[in-house]
Amino acid sequence: MADNRQMWEKLGIDMEAHDALLGAIPALVEETFMRQENRPAKMDFFDFVLGDIHGIRVHELQEIKANGGKVIGTFCVYVPEEIILAAGGTCIGLCSGVDIGTAEAEKVLPRNICPMIKASLGFKMTKTCPYFESTDLVVGETTCDGKQKAWEILGEMTPTYVMELPAMKRDSSRRLWDSEVAAFKNAVEQTTGKKGTDDDLKKAIAKVNGKRRALQRLSATRQADPVPISGTDALLIEQIAFYDDVERFAAKTNELAEELEARVAAGEGVFPKGTPRLMISGTPMAVPNWKIPHIIETSGGALVVEESCTGQRYFRELVEESASDAMDAIADRYLKTDCACFSPNDERIENVIKLAKEYNVDGVVYTSLMFCGPYSVEYNKVKKALDAAGIPVIKIDTDYGMEDVGQIKTRIEAFIEQIKETVPAS
């Protein structure tokens, strides 16, 4: 669209590199989404957002900015969105799920670092992400060694604020986190120029909880067999949650959930009843990383739940709305997040087993981005717990490249064959 191009140019986007990036999307979307059968009608909104991925929402951001609003970019589910909203800001998730600017990024980063970190800096360095170029501030956090050192480098390129996340969950960790949440509020307010009052915070809490409730509602329909929506579609929705307008997203997700509830009531689904039900557990999958869900669902499996930041970790916990101290309630909720960056992290292990049971999962595909120390090491404990619960698991270490798709497909197909032979057909 002509006005997209004008906007991108104004944002200083490298048009040639950006054309190459966007040029690859339609074929991928066709292959991954459009060829699925019996998709819910209310996916239309999400397909529309996906179809104009660097357009319509970026236009909205420009409008927000023209009216004095500020856009704050984040890379992690630990950054409290409520605080950004209360101060009049708009929160946008910036994580990348595509190799972009690898050569540029490798000028400042080592080759063997997680692809998500590499692509985040790659996007900035090649000026190919209009969301990134729309931000007034980006917020990093100390969730892993790679990230916390990368922010120092990113800080030389764009205004960057870093939250210190404790590595444990002791009383002293909570005190550190409380002070970090308070300091974050100040930093955000300096950027937006507006102080978030207690009332603003309470409204923001209700708003973001509304988004989480919608996602919880949608997710709950996937406990049914047959499952009313593919995991590939569900992941797309969980990805869009990170950058769409909060209230519109909640409304559209609720509309879809209503359709899915009707499907469940009528016993309708996207895969035949009895299709092996798989859970993904591990590292996040940012747009346009649909590699593993697509392989699962074209290999005879149904993906029914994502135990990841682009999934349950994003919406499972709500902020207590009736709490007298809103900041305390926010700090409390975010510290419950069970990322592998914590030690120990027994909550996650328990939660994996709980989700596997709630969603009647036949097997777990444990996914770890290459070079992700925390999730890759934590596999040991997750596997032990799954073994004890009698739930099969397969570990896939991969990145955004496509050269290993053949081997991953063989492994996942074999995993599904193995499940079919051990699970009696219903």
Partner 1 sequence: MKSAGLDIGSRTIALVVIDDAGVVAATVQDTTYDPIAECRALLAEHSFDSLVATGYGRHLAAEHFNATPITEIKAFASGAAHLRPGCRGVLDIGGQDVKVISVNERGRVADFEMNDRCAAGTGKFIEVMAAALGYKIEDFGAAALNAESLVKVNSTCTVFAESEVVSLIAKGEARANIAYGIHDAIAERIVAMVTRIDLAGEIFFAGGAARNQALQKILAEKLNARLFVPENPQIVGALGAALSGA
By the rule CB under 8 A, 99 interacts with partner 1: no
Of the two residues 179 and 407, which places its CB atom closer to partner 1 in the complex? 407
- Taking contact as CB under 8 A, which single stretch among the options 95-103, 211-219, 240-248, 413-421 is the one that binds partner 1? 413-421
Measured from the CB of residue 409, what is the shortest distance to partner 1 in angstroms? Answer: 8
**Angle at CA 391, nearest 5°, toward 385 and 396?**
85
- Taking contact as CB under 8 A, which single stretch among the options 88-96, 289-297, 360-368, 402-410 is the one that binds partner 1? 402-410
- Are 237 and 253 spatial neighbours (Cβ–Cβ below 8 Å)? yes
- Taking contact as CB under 8 A, which single stretch among the options 72-80, 175-183, 333-341, 410-418 is the one that binds partner 1? 410-418
Of the two residues 88 and 301, which places its CB atom closer to partner 1 in the complex? 301
Of the two residues 167 and 370, which places its CB atom closer to partner 1 in the complex? 370
Measured from the CB of residue 415, what is the shortest distance to partner 1 in angstroms? Answer: 8
- Are 386 and 352 spatial neighbours (Cβ–Cβ below 8 Å)? yes
Measured from the CB of residue 369, what is the shortest distance to partner 1 in angstroms? Answer: 13
Is 4 strand, coil or helix?
helix
How far apart, in whole angstroms, are the C-alpha atoms of residue 35 and residue 28? Answer: 11
How far apart, in whole angstroms, are the C-alpha atoms of residue 336 and residue 318? Answer: 10
By the rule CB under 8 A, 406 interacts with partner 1: yes
Is 226 strand, coil or helix?
coil
Q: In what order do the strands lie in the sheet with 89-93?
A: 89-93, 70-74, 137-141, 160-163
Measured from the CB of residue 283, what is the shortest distance to partner 1 in angstroms? Answer: 16
Residues in the chain: 426
By the rule CB under 8 A, 112 interacts with partner 1: no
Of the two residues 267 and 401, which places its CB atom closer to partner 1 in the complex? 401
- Are 270 and 37 spatial neighbours (Cβ–Cβ below 8 Å)? yes
By the rule CB under 8 A, 382 interacts with partner 1: no
DSSP codes, 37-78: SS--GGGHHHHHHHHTTTTHHHHHHHHHHHTT-EEEEESSTT
Measured from the CB of residue 142, what is the shortest distance to partner 1 in angstroms? Answer: 30
Task: Determine which residue in the list 417, 424, 425, 426 makes contact with partner 1, applying CB under 8 A.
Answer: 417
Residue 161, beta-bridge partner list: 139
By the rule CB under 8 A, 275 interacts with partner 1: no
Instruction: Strands of 78-222 (E only): list them.
Output: 89-93, 137-141, 160-163
By the rule CB under 8 A, 418 interacts with partner 1: yes
Task: Determine which residue in the list 82, 297, 338, 397 makes contact with partner 1, applying CB under 8 A.
Answer: 397
How far apart, in whole angstroms, are the C-alpha atoms of residue 92 and residue 239? Answer: 11
Measured from the CB of residue 39, what is the shortest distance to partner 1 in angstroms? Answer: 23
Measured from the CB of residue 182, what is the shortest distance to partner 1 in angstroms? Answer: 45
By the rule CB under 8 A, 414 interacts with partner 1: yes
Q: Give me Rg for the CA atoms of the chain.
A: 21
By the rule CB under 8 A, 398 interacts with partner 1: yes
By the rule CB under 8 A, 384 interacts with partner 1: no
Task: Determine which residue in the list 421, 424, 425, 426 makes contact with partner 1, applying CB under 8 A.
Answer: 421
Q: In what order do the strands lie in the sheet with 393-398?
A: 302-307, 277-282, 363-369, 393-398
How far apart, in whole angstroms, are the C-alpha atoms of residue 289 and residue 59? Answer: 24
- Taking contact as CB under 8 A, which single stretch among the options 143-151, 213-221, 272-280, 407-415 is the one that binds partner 1? 407-415
Of the two residues 327 and 419, which places its CB atom closer to partner 1 in the complex? 419
* Interface residues toward partner 1, by CB under 8 A: 396-398, 403-404, 406-408, 410-411, 413-414, 417-418, 421-422
